[in-house]
Chains A and B, each alone.
Chain A
């Protein structure tokens, strides 16, 4: 069995932790060795939140620079910041809808051009899938489902050791019933997105 090292990055409040948890539960269900590492505490106050899912023939809870097979980024500026985790063989799935850091929101710094950032990413990795996950999440019912859109895109574009139905089973059994319909719709929109 090969190793899957999936690095997640986003901004506090975007629900990256639930996304990594869902993938971890899917791996568990399929009896695939898995480590999910999370970040708690101070970093969650609007800062960058990084986490990781490592599956198959690897057991380190941390992904080194240059070693991510897949980068899942919930925010375009954070995609570029996390590019150090990638190599020329990485797949990058990035939300291209920005969230301004405070230095930008207060007018002291400029948010880099999203198209240019995506080009830099694309030039350095094997494949980039950029999608407007925020709009798709809104279409599903709420911006809070960006994480489900992103997992949908992952299941479509990455060669994973399990299929989308396994993820849907996990969503059915492990996520809050009140959001299930929205989560499944967001997952599907992410899966269908071109």
Chain B
């Protein structure tokens, strides 16, 4: 059985924030969960997936976040307790549904998890999703560790059901991906089956319904304000005339700073866990009891601005600060010394951070496409087919974005999931150079199809390469509608990518295996040179992610490749392919040679096809 199901009530477990959220949902009797994977939220869905195999929980990997939220909304309005989890930018995709779902409300508790990524460990931006709570009008909770992640998840379901409104649980990477001890509670059985009661004049948002619901939503938010002031998640610690207000992971940095700067008797900390609607009463009390306040929150001055408004409305003139050059920045995640320094400066305490030794320029170690990755072969083929001709490469979100790095350098423009296809159309209309766009299989299903239909409709002239590696590789090999390899064996895909592309109206479509280099280059050249046919052409470059294939099929690799003494050191393997299994070495006489690390070689054979000096050999165990 899954560990989150077997953990005994009252026992202490070392849980990731994401695992604690799942356990909290199980303790709240969750029946229904949806997600689209995205770091740092992915383990929430992955754990629900495994648990759904062993229980009555319904779980799905939806095709994108908007679909996930709309699916979840139906379950919640049918009285089931439901969770929908995603990364911060996923909530942009789901925002259209979210804004109106706040009006319509829910019957079973619905918790929407937004996992923000300050410092962009694995994201394209670091937007502060707390503003979504405000713009949509949804209550929001922000945990500071795994114990709170569990407790707040449970509380969020109660709150959601009591006020018939979705609740936003907002986390950041250091909460999702840190393990802290958690005392787990009792599991509640889920409701097996939901029930929908027709109520069109509350559930169908035509303007006359929307107008009424808008006012009702504002009334709910008003009532929830008192709830926030009474919430045990908003509490004051310590005593003294100085004030600090903080929320989320920053609370831990503040707590360490208070201890290490020896401020325990001089500072009161308002630790906020329910951060929307704003807890006016408790905050006003706090402001009245201190002389000056530092607000310690990552990213935007969300709490700081609200405190300043509150002070102004109540005629308080104390100093309230947070963001600013000499205190705390609006960008990146914090670290303990940064917070300690800001607190020391603001409260005029002596503090000298430890001496830091700076390293000289060291060889960098950026992440790289794995040995045997079929994306490398696809990029190689496109570079070959174009030769010296200039071209623009809009790209998309997935492992293949690593094609940005030398020697492949096959990425010129990226905004968000699906932007490769639509921006390729824009480039094709706006300028003269040929355009070759790249999108992964899961991303294509997520938000590439609409752009493709647009390209057909508006005669956009470019080549779209769909990099189909049979899984959502980057986030941990989650399935998508087009998968063929499953732990149960090979299946016919439920949705066939080539059929979808044809169905969108594309008439020049071809599927190749990029590990067959010459064939792939030939098809690409043909597409590039085909001036007869205007419009979008699609190449489906299909070969499974080798890590995924090995995990799912358990297939043993039989062949590795080696560089023979026919090698003339032309370096094309290193300079054009950039496979991490290759090493440039020098022997004792400083004579250079190239070798392939047979532990890393996946046996894909792409290198053999571009160089006569590379030969196969049997893999030794």
Q: Which A residues have a C-beta under 8 Å from some C-beta of B?
A: 11-12, 21, 24-25, 28, 33-48, 57-67, 77-78, 80-81, 83-84, 86-88, 100-107, 109-112, 124
With contacts A40-B40, A40-B42, A43-B367 taken as known, whether A106 is within 8 angstroms of B578 at the C-beta atoms is: yes
**Given the complex of chains A and B, what is the CA–CA distance between A42 and B42 in angstroms?**
13
**Given the complex of chains A and B, what is the CA–CA distance between A124 and B578 in angstroms?**
36
With contacts A77-B362, A83-B357 taken as known, whether A42 is within 8 angstroms of B336 at the C-beta atoms is: no
Q: Which of A39, A46, A112 contacts B580 (CB 8 A)?
A: A46
B residues less than 8 Å from A78 (CB atoms): 365
Can you show 10 pairs from A to B with CB atoms below 8 A apart? A24-B179, A41-B474, A42-B399, A42-B474, A60-B336, A63-B335, A80-B362, A100-B583, A102-B578, A107-B571
A residues less than 8 Å from B390 (CB atoms): none
Q: Which of B16, B40, B122, B365 contacts A11 (CB 8 A)?
A: B365
With contacts A61-B249, A106-B574 taken as known, whether A42 is within 8 angstroms of B122 at the C-beta atoms is: yes
- Cβ–Cβ contact B179 & A35, under 8 A: yes
Q: Which of A47, A60, A64, A103 contacts B363 (CB 8 A)?
A: A103
B residues less than 8 Å from A67 (CB atoms): 336-337, 354
With contacts A24-B14, A100-B583 taken as known, whether A61 is within 8 angstroms of B252 at the C-beta atoms is: yes
Q: B259 near A: Cβ within 8 Å?
A: yes
- Cβ–Cβ contact B584 & A107, under 8 A: yes
- Cβ–Cβ contact A60 & B256, under 8 A: yes
- Cβ–Cβ contact B179 & A36, under 8 A: yes
**Given the complex of chains A and B, what is the CA–CA distance between A164 and B575 in angstroms?**
48
- Cβ–Cβ contact A84 & B358, under 8 A: yes
- Cβ–Cβ contact B365 & A101, under 8 A: yes
B residues less than 8 Å from A111 (CB atoms): 363
B residues less than 8 Å from A106 (CB atoms): 574-575, 578, 582, 584
B residues less than 8 Å from A63 (CB atoms): 335-336
With contacts A62-B335, A64-B335, A105-B580 taken as known, whether A87 is within 8 angstroms of B475 at the C-beta atoms is: no
With contacts A41-B475, A107-B574 taken as known, whether A86 is within 8 angstroms of B365 at the C-beta atoms is: no
- Cβ–Cβ contact B179 & A105, under 8 A: no
Q: Lowest 9 CB-CB distances: which A-B pairs, in order?
A: A107-B584, A66-B354, A41-B122, A47-B367, A41-B39, A64-B337, A45-B367, A101-B365, A36-B179
B residues less than 8 Å from A66 (CB atoms): 337, 353-356
A residues less than 8 Å from B334 (CB atoms): 62
Q: Report whether over half of chain A's contact residues are helix, strand or loop; otherwise say mixed.
A: loop
Q: B135 near A: Cβ within 8 Å?
A: no
- Cβ–Cβ contact B356 & A48, under 8 A: no
Q: Which of B492-550 contact A (CB under 8 A)?
A: none
- Cβ–Cβ contact A62 & B336, under 8 A: yes
Distance of B611 from chain A, by nearest CB (Å): 15
Q: Which of A45, A47, A58, A86 contacts B256 (CB 8 A)?
A: A58
**Given the complex of chains A and B, what is the CA–CA distance between A45 and B366 in angstroms?**
8
In the complex, the chain A residue whose C-beta lies closest to that of B401 is A42
**Given the complex of chains A and B, what is the CA–CA distance between A83 and B362 in angstroms?**
12
**Given the complex of chains A and B, what is the CA–CA distance between A105 and B574 in angstroms?**
9
In the complex, the chain A residue whose C-beta lies closest to that of B575 is A106
- Cβ–Cβ contact A41 & B356, under 8 A: no
With contacts A62-B336, A87-B354 taken as known, whether A46 is within 8 angstroms of B368 at the C-beta atoms is: yes
- Cβ–Cβ contact A25 & B363, under 8 A: no
A residues less than 8 Å from B353 (CB atoms): 64-66
Q: Which of B178, B359, B475, B575 contacts A84 (CB 8 A)?
A: B359
Distance of B405 from chain A, by nearest CB (Å): 8
- Cβ–Cβ contact B336 & A83, under 8 A: no
